[in-house]
Structure 1
Amino acid sequence: MTDNEESMTGTDMREYVERAHTAVTESDDLSLRNTELRLVQPFLEALGWDVRLPEVEADVNVPDRDPVDYALRVDDRPAVFVDVVPCEDSLREADIDRLEVGMTAGGVDWGILTNGRSFVFLARNGDDVERLECRLDRFPSHEDAVSMYTKAAVESRRPAADRRIAAERIAKRREAVAETLTETLVAAADGAATDEIAAIVDGFVDDLLVALGPDDAAVNDGGAARPSKATAGNSADSTDGDPAATGRKDASPGDDGPTGSSPGDGRSASSATTEGGEYVVRVFDGRTSVGAVGTEDPVGAMANAIELLLDRYALDSRLTLPWRPDASDEKGRAVLARTPVHPNGTEMRSHRRLSNGYCLLATLDASSAKAVVRELAGQSGLRVMFQGDW
């Protein structure tokens, strides 16, 4: 990595801020062109982009709007759009909307709008566009967010962006892709097991799209990768926080053993308290991904998945509490209950309290947690996929 490709450090930011303040106070004319020359291009250089090379392109044409002022390119494709407003003007909501339109039309996930004094950093997250509004003098307080627009950071994200583009293109032709694959395999099998092959191919295409697609922000974004959502319409800082991952630490195990299709089978619950892993649950309504949750432990992922089913799909209206996977077992231990008590009257010694007050058994191993999530999702007419360390 060359010096020009290193991330923008706090020292770099402070030096740039000092130079920019000097340019603002000592310049008699900060028209659009002078704003670009004295404030914006030096900012791009501070981020590691060489404005003299083709990696920075000016006046980029995109459909449905005027040209974008700059495109920062990686592998000869635009990765960040930059729009500039004269220094003497304020940033308006309409300017932000125009940049969002350009990002969508150009297939770009990252954008910057600036007048040299204030900045709006945009990042697409699925169907949403998150934003961070930041004054020039507040740059050092937002080092992590601003550094996501350095050349080095953008280059490191290119493989993920390529996967997302591939997923979007395949998804648009999903039925034709599945049909072609099925026809090829059925022909190779001389017509045997046609229905089984079609079902397997259908699942394979779904799994492929999930594997190629972007991670859900709730899974493992960690808060540093994207600017946080803020209210637009002013040039002051609107937020100092970033979205955090939804992980929760597991409760301490008690005497309740692991639960699966055969409660009380005595399997070890050690995996229920494993930390430092990644346990992800993705939820699908038919072929459409409708959510994803994840934590460092299987019980946490199970709890978050059940919260999603309760919040979005009224799971509680389909359950009789206390609930257990094998409802025919009168003496089975409860997995989900209104109070931390099993049907036989014994205490649920280790449990997790959900947001609606329900008590969730917290001593399940990974296999049992998967069985619980799969069954509860099925009761909501959904299916799930497990990724990570399951």
Structure 2
Amino acid sequence: MPSFDLGSFVARAATLVDSSPPATKQETRRWLVEPFLETLGWTVRADSCLPDRVVDETHLEYVLTVESVPALFVAVESATESLDGTRANAIQSAMAWSGVDRAIYTNGRDYLLLAGSSELDYCALELAELEANESVIATYSRAALGQQLGRHTRAHVARQLAVERPALTDEITDRLTDAVAQGEVYADEFASATDRFLEQLLVTFAEYESSRPNADTDTAADVSVQFSESAITDDSQSPPSGSVSSARSDSSGPEQDDDVASGDAEPETRTDENAADTDATDSDHATGHSDTDATGADSTAATDDGEYVVRFFNERGSIGAVGHSSAAGALVEAAEYLLERGLAGVEVPWAPDDDGTTVLNDAPVRADGSPMDDPKPLSRGLYLETAGDIDEQAARVEALTERAGLRAMVTGDWEPK
């Protein structure tokens, strides 16, 4: 475990809070948060500390990096303010989107420690409890995260793209605007296209295999942590909304000691529209497909040993993803996900267009009464047509998502190799 003088920091910070507490967020950052980060071995006055960055439309006061790879998100409120549940869940969403698996949300008096990305664990501590939980705090130190990021992976690229995406979008848009006559007329189109490109590039480099819960058995839980004096609140003073998993991803994440349990509320399990859901299933992944087989025959039909991922977006950004080893299975998972998020009100029988194949019905038949080719039952008493090749199934995913008022991106083995 890294060695650092956490006791001295707690003593100094407690004296400061009791005698002359910071009155602004800037003072909280300078007098409480930055000394805490320095205690953990981070250098906040170096190029490795990126101040005031936006990830997935979530503002972060610090992004701490290890050899340019984002390792730790830090969000700050003024010492005079409570931690906000809405922001806590936005941080969780930024972690799920970027793959950065450590974050600290603090006002200098209270500390919400988040660990994991698609499967999230959290620990709520007050300032006086930090020293007693040094083993938990140590997992957020420069030494510990530096060791964790010692081997370069494609996921590290995804982390960097997530953090640098706003700046890259602006830079590329400016270059495109300057490159063509009257480019300013098309600047908005350039920016939109560039942002979509970077979004897909980020998804391509993300490691779906790591820390992926099983979609059939794992559920998400709200960040409903509360301190003894309601340090985390939202606008309605109710527990924070959003979704994280209450299961601990590994032994390196936050661990709840008995003596701090009284400061934490048990997470409430539910599904929320703004949650960043699991990226895909835990066991259904392997190889891809090609357009033709050895005989030249078309082989775009779904296989059962691939990785078919669907990521969902609203106007704000990524809100979750599902996946399966077959395209038909991913289509079913996507339909179930969407039934919780706007698709449930669809009138059946439903087809993507007036002349198209019936996709959803309350019986395994088409609108004309003929049987569906490959119907699969859904949880709400509906049946989903899953027959067709990969392109048809991908189009069906996109049509269902659009009907729910969202946007879908299919990746993995949906795309021909």
Q: TM-score, normalised by structure 2?
A: 0.48
| Structure 2 partner of 1:206 | 196
| 8 Å CA contact 2:365, 2:372 repeated in 1 | yes
Distance apart, 1:208 and its partner CA: 0.9
| Structure 1 partner of 2:36 | 67
Percent identity reads: 26
Tell which structure's C-alpha radius of gyration is larger.
Answer: 1
**CA 1:342 to 1:248, structure 2 compared with 1: closer, same or farther past 3 Å?**
farther
Residues 110-154 of structure 1: CA deviation (Å, up to 9, x unaligned): 489xxxxxxx9952427x842599xxxxxxxxxxx9xxx797654
Residues 40-94 of structure 1: CA deviation (Å, up to 9, x unaligned): xxxx3xxxxxx6xxxx77769986435355459954989589xxxxxxxxxxxxx
Distance apart, 1:194 and its partner CA: 5.2
1:308 equivalent in alignment to 2:337: yes
| 8 Å CA contact 1:178, 1:205 repeated in 2 | no
**CA 1:315 to 1:168, structure 2 compared with 1: closer, same or farther past 3 Å?**
same
| Structure 1 partner of 2:275 | none
1:109 equivalent in alignment to 2:101: yes
Q: What SS does the aligned partner of 2:165 have?
A: helix
Distance apart, 1:340 and its partner CA: 0.9
Distance apart, 1:296 and its partner CA: 1.4
Q: What SS does the aligned partner of 2:318 have?
A: strand
**CA 1:227 to 1:192, structure 2 compared with 1: closer, same or farther past 3 Å?**
same
Tell me how far apart the structure 1 counterparts of residues 190 and 153 of structure 2 sit (CA, whole Å).
Answer: 31
| Structure 1 partner of 2:374 | 350
Distance apart, 1:322 and its partner CA: 1.5
Tell me how far apart the structure 1 counterparts of residues 207 and 311 of structure 2 sit (CA, whole Å).
Answer: 9
| Structure 1 partner of 2:163 | 168
**AA at the equivalent of 1:109:** D
Tell me how far apart the structure 1 counterparts of residues 68 and 172 of structure 2 sit (CA, whole Å).
Answer: 31
More helix by share: 1
Distance apart, 1:388 and its partner CA: 0.9
Tell me how far apart the structure 1 counterparts of residues 161 and 40 of structure 2 sit (CA, whole Å).
Answer: 25
| Structure 2 partner of 1:377 | 401
Tell me how far apart the structure 2 counterparts of residues 198 and 364 of structure 1 sit (CA, whole Å).
Answer: 37
Distance apart, 1:109 and its partner CA: 3.4
Distance apart, 1:360 and its partner CA: 1.0
Tell me how far apart the structure 2 counterparts of residues 206 and 296 of structure 1 sit (CA, whole Å).
Answer: 26
Residues 201-221 of structure 1: CA deviation (Å, up to 9, x unaligned): 512322313433685979972
| Structure 2 partner of 1:5 | none
- Unaligned residue ranges in structure 1 (runs of 5+): 1-43, 45-50, 82-99, 113-119, 134-144, 251-266
- Unaligned residue ranges in structure 2 (runs of 5+): 10-28, 43-64, 74-87, 93-97, 105-111, 125-138, 215-246, 267-277, 286-296
1:327 equivalent in alignment to 2:350: no
Residues 18-41 of structure 1: CA deviation (Å, up to 9, x unaligned): xxxxxxxxxxxxxxxxxxxxxxxx
Aligned-pair Cα RMSD in Å: 5.2
Tell me how far apart the structure 1 counterparts of residues 171 and 206 of structure 2 sit (CA, whole Å).
Answer: 23
Tell me how far apart the structure 2 counterparts of residues 244 and 288 of structure 1 sit (CA, whole Å).
Answer: 15
1:340 equivalent in alignment to 2:309: no
**AA at the equivalent of 1:320:** E
1:271 equivalent in alignment to 2:301: yes
| Structure 1 partner of 2:281 | 246
| 8 Å CA contact 2:314, 2:407 repeated in 1 | yes
